[in-house]
Amino acid sequence: MTLKYPKARALAGALFVLLVGSALAVPAFAAETASIEGVVNINTASVEELQILPGVGEKRAEQIVEMRKERGGFESIDELKDVKGIGDSMLDRLRGHVTLSGKTTAQRR
């Protein structure tokens, strides 16, 4: 199929790039939401251990540790919503993987 108009060609090219980019982003998202076994104790976990959690990278893990230090620990898992970037939906993804006491036992599957 040939397009006569340069703007139409540019639009078709941009659409193609968008579609291909979206397809490539799916594996990255899938890796982020990969399953983990066990739990992470948000009151004792290191920055590295917190990064096992889905959606928690180094910066967010550091923010969790900083907030924990400021508060003297978390009393409720819901307090994670006070960390920038953690809203209701992310908290729902984390809820089954975090604890306030006991050992951190989480490992990526």
> Among residues 40, 37, 36, which one has the least CA distance to residue 103?
40
Q: Does domain 36-108 have CATH number 3.40.50.620?
A: no
Residue 100 has pLDDT above 80, yes or no: yes
Percentage of the chain beyond pLDDT 70 is: 70
Give the domain ranges of the chain.
1-32, 36-108
At 80, the pLDDT band (50, 70, 90 cuts) reads very high
Residue 94 has pLDDT above 60, yes or no: yes
Over residues 14-53, the pLDDT tens digits come to 656 555 555 544 444 334 445 899 999 999 999 999 999 9
The pairing of beta strand 40-41 with beta strand 107-108 = unpaired
Whether the full predicted model's pTM is greater than 0.85, yes or no, is: no
25 φ, ψ (degrees, to nearest 5): -75, -25
d(CA 66, CA 77): 15
